[in-house]
Amino acid sequence: MDKPVRKPDSPLGSAGQGVAHESAAKHVSGEAIYIDDMRAPLGTLHAYVGLSDMAHGVVSGMSLAAVRNAPGVVDVITRDDVPGIIDIGPVFPGDPLMVGVGDTVEFHGQVLFAVAATNYAAARRAARLAKIEYTPLPACLSIEDGLAAQSFVRPAHYQRRGDAGGALSKADHRLQGELQIGGQEQMYLEGQASLCVPEEDGGMLVYSSTQNPTEGQKLVAEVLGVDLHQVTVDTRRMGGAFGGKETHANQWACLAAILARRSGRAVKLRLARADDMRATGKRHHFLSRYDVGFDDQGRIQALDLMLAGGCGMSPDLSDAIVDRAMFHSDNAYYLPDVAVAGHRVKTHTVSNTAFRGFGGPQGMVAIEDIIDAIARERGLDPLDVRKTNLYSAAAGRNTTHYGQEIEQEVLPLLIDRLETTSDYRARRQTIRDFNASNPVLRRGLALTPVKFGISFTVQHLNQAGALIHVYTDGSIQLNHGGTEMGQGLYTKVAQVVAEELQVDIAHIRCTSTRTDKVPNTSPTAASSGSDINGMAALAAARKIRKRLTDFACEHFAVSKESVQFSPNRVTVDHRVFSFAEFVNLAYHHRISLSATGFYRTPKIHYDRETATGRPFYYFANGAAVSEVLVDTLTGEYRVERVDICHDVGNSLNPAIDIGQIEGGFIQGMGWLTSEELAWDDNGRLTTVGPATYKIPAIGDTPPQFNVELLPDSPNAEATIFRSKAVGEPPLMLAISVWSAIRDAVSSLADYRVHPKLDTPATPERVLMACEALRQASR
């Protein structure tokens, strides 16, 4: 779909304009309504959960008498009270709704029971009164332990091209290494919350803070033992999600629904922050091990790479997440002879889940670690090694290790542009001079690229639906399967409809995502929200526009060319109507003003048996230059300047896209620097709030933060107005910060030693890396 032609009198807020987020004013004023802000029905009960305090063991006894007798308590449920299914695993089994007596607890914080009381405080107090007895079992708490025990939640997957072993034996140079890549808590502002309202005829209305209303509908129905049409899930907005509400919102809706069914009263369940962090999954931590061969210029000749994802106690989405890490283990680089192994390691910790990037960031960090190691070994600027290894159609090096051709070669031009606009080469020399004269403070600089595949790697999820009603006053109600979590999806899809029907965006209202309006929807994830829901909405809007055009032709006896839609006007030959006048005329002539739209992403496929295919419709690209200042005596550092050039194709909304790039970068920077998850020897998460888990604050924003959208780069594929996804890719731009820190540390050894620096690169780890280089230099 080509970009709409911009006219001086385009409708206000139509596609391509940088209009404000539809809820921006409500966000800052506090008027935006989230689950806990809703006016609940009279008599609503408040639910809470009892969590295990053991990582691995059999529940041998559960005394809940004190819970049942606590003030305000109305009901208590255990596994035995579930009327339908117990296992709510989203793809594969392994996620029990609750664990009962005789069952095995598999992580510290697993749900044992739920209590409903007359108020929130009473429910929380009562949940603490349970007496649970366990028979302890050995706990596997690390990826290394899981690998040693051959403990996996799903079988390994392998991708191969050529003969990696043979090519490694013949390589000019060879390096081996490993890297620990830390996980990350989603830390959404609005915690997990659901409000379930029982309806007549056994129906259940579920208000849920979820990225996946259809999956929530399915699981609530299955837990209650009813058909899907008995359950409606409504999601107006989330206060952040970042993947943490794709599957992990389901459990709380299911529990609230059971209590609502039993009591006949509405039930709200909202987790406190510490329990939210204990009981819900995070970004997967990974272990990377590699053996790489390369020539004098740093060009990779062969790679044997092992990626092991720490999945926690169940499969959840780990199959697809580790797959995506493998798909992105090339990042932007051609790998001629390569073997990539992806292991899904089981540990007795909470089941890890989706997080912005969905495994892609971990794969990218692994290969960028390798690129930096090659550069240090050869004494080359890492940027030159990166450019040497880029995909190149001219050199016949433009097919990924899984067989997908790079059809739109964006990065060479984008990187050259950023190298110039950021003054990379001059700054590189200035930094070398600075470091040569400063024994304590060292500066680092890095430019890293991003090539991120866009589509769900599970093929059937690449579909979307939309519903549009045009009312007789010309106002429009829009509904689609995508959910709004602050990323601006509702705004962008409304802009698409505004563009097609040529009306101001003020005339369009996007209503709550509801399973009774648009059914069988996919989760809002994989950076595909605008791509698929925008196209579905466009299809619906085009149906209505075609009906209106056909009506005009018949009613006024004119040709289609005589019917013109212009901003808030419809011109038929020499007659000019306001949009409202024209749709009212059509209504009185019995023309349908409502339409559905549907879209499915073309071209994508992947064969797991051969590990080849085209899993992605296209790639989104970008690059970032980061400069840091490191105190080598304390390990403290700060990011002083960031320059970004990112390709969003023909932007649907430049203002929102730039905001996504800035926010994604800062979130990625937190993942790689300050956000450290820690468990004690008993498998208990110890970082359960902002006092111990450090997300970036506004003061961590680089004082110089330059963001540019790559101009004149429409998507080669027929996406919505030739735009490109922007939700996840910017997070990986922050790899440049981690690489810049290592650049600064490596200056202690004249840039010839690759410092060991696992992520997150906390000041403690940076200090240890500095001390290791000082010791090696003595």
Strand partners, 708: 645
What pLDDT score was predicted for residue 279?
Answer: 98
Residue 10 has pLDDT above 90, yes or no: no
Quote the CA–CA distance of 735 and 75 in Å, as a whole number. 49
On average, the pLDDT of the chain sits at 97
CB contact at 8 A, 704 and 768: no
Q: Which residues make Cβ contacts (< 8 Å) with residue 184, sequence separation at least 6?
A: 282, 283, 355, 670, 671, 675, 677
> Looking at residue 391, what is its pLDDT?
98
pLDDT of amino acid 731: 98
Residues 595-621: tens digit of each pLDDT: 999 999 999 999 999 999 999 999 999
pLDDT tens digits along 460-499:
999 999 999 999 999 999 999 999 999 999 999 999 999 9
Half-sphere exposure of 548 (CA within 13 A, CB side): 31
pLDDT score at 212: 98
The answer to whether 481 and 558 have CB atoms below 8 angstroms apart is no
User: Could you give the percent of the chain with pLDDT greater than 90?
Assistant: 98
pLDDT at residue 281, rounded to an integer: 98
Distance CA 589, CA 582 (A): 11
Distance CA 305, CA 401 (A): 12
Q: Kindly indicate the confidence band of residue 569, based on its pLDDT and cuts at 50, 70 and 90.
A: very high
Bridge-partner residues for 599, per DSSP? 464
> What is the pLDDT, as a whole number, of residue 8?
55
Is the pLDDT at 777 greater than 80? The verdict is no
Q: How far apart are CA 194 and CA 257, in angstroms?
A: 9
Question: 504-556, pLDDT tens digit by residue?
Answer: 999 999 999 999 999 999 999 999 999 999 999 999 999 999 999 999 999 99
User: Reduced to 3 states, what is the DSSP secondary structure of residue 597?
Assistant: strand
Of 730, 733, 731, 740, the C-alpha closest to 761 is 740
Query: pLDDT digit string (tens) for 64-100?
Result: 999 999 999 999 999 999 999 999 999 999 999 999 9
Q: CA of 112: how far to CAs of 43, 60, 102, in Å? A: 26, 12, 12
Q: In DSSP terms, which residues pair with 293 in a beta bridge?
A: 174, 302
In this prediction, residue 778 carries a pLDDT of 73
Q: Does residue 760 surpass a pLDDT of 60?
A: yes
For residue 633 the two structure tokens come to 């005596």
The mean pLDDT value for 135-149 works out to: 97
Pair type for strands 704-709 and 637-646:
parallel
State mean pLDDT over 127-151.
Answer: 97
How confident is the model over 749-765, as a mean pLDDT? 96
Q: In this structure, what DSSP letter does residue 265 have?
A: S
The type of residue at 642 is V
Which stretch of DSSP H or E encloses residue 418? helix 411-421
Element containing residue 509 per DSSP (H, E): strand 508-510
The confidence band for 4, taking pLDDT boundaries of 50, 70 and 90, is very low
**Tokens (6 digits) for 316:** 């959840």
pLDDT value for 7: 52
How much is the pLDDT for 776? 82
Outline where 173-245 has alpha helix (H). 213-224
Does residue 6 carry a pLDDT above 60?
Answer: no
CA 309/CA 283 separation, integer angstroms: 10
Residue 37 DSSP symbol: G
Q: CB–CB of 578/569 below 8 Å? A: yes
Give the whole-angstrom CA distance, residue 565 versus residue 514.
31
pLDDT at 350 over 90: yes
Strands 508-510, 476-480: pairing is parallel
What is the 3 state secondary structure string of 49-86?
EEECCCCCEEEEEEECHHHHCCCCEEEEECHHHCCCCC
- Is there a catalytic annotation at residue 728? yes
Q: In what order do the strands lie in the sheet with 513-514?
A: 73-77, 111-117, 45-51, 267-270, 193-198, 204-208, 231-235, 513-514
Mean pLDDT to the nearest integer, 288-310: 98
For 153-211, the pLDDT digits (tens) are: 999 999 999 999 999 999 999 999 999 999 999 999 999 999 999 999 999 999 999 99
The answer to whether 315 and 153 have CB atoms below 8 angstroms apart is yes
Q: What is the rounded CA–CA span in Å between residue 518 and residue 598?
A: 10
The one catalytic residue in 190, 377, 717, 728 is 728
CA atoms within 13 A on the CB side of 261: 24
Q: Could you give the angle at the alpha carbon of 5 between the alpha carbons of 479 and 474, nearest 5°?
A: 40
pLDDT on residue 13:
87
Q: How many CA atoms lie within 13 A of 536 on its CB side?
A: 28
To the nearest whole percent, how much of the chain has pLDDT over 70? 99
The residue written with tokens 């939210």 in the block is: 276
Structure tokens at 757: 């620096």
Mean pLDDT calculated for residue range 226-249: 98
Which is nearest to 665 in space by CA: 624, 724, 711, 697?
A: 624
Cα 655 to Cα 449, 488, 529, 658: the distances in Å are 22, 10, 17, 5
CB 592 within 8 A of CB 701: no
Residue 253 has pLDDT above 60, yes or no: yes
Nearest to 650 by CA among 545, 706, 707, 726: 726
pLDDT band per the 50, 70, 90 thresholds, residue 1: very low
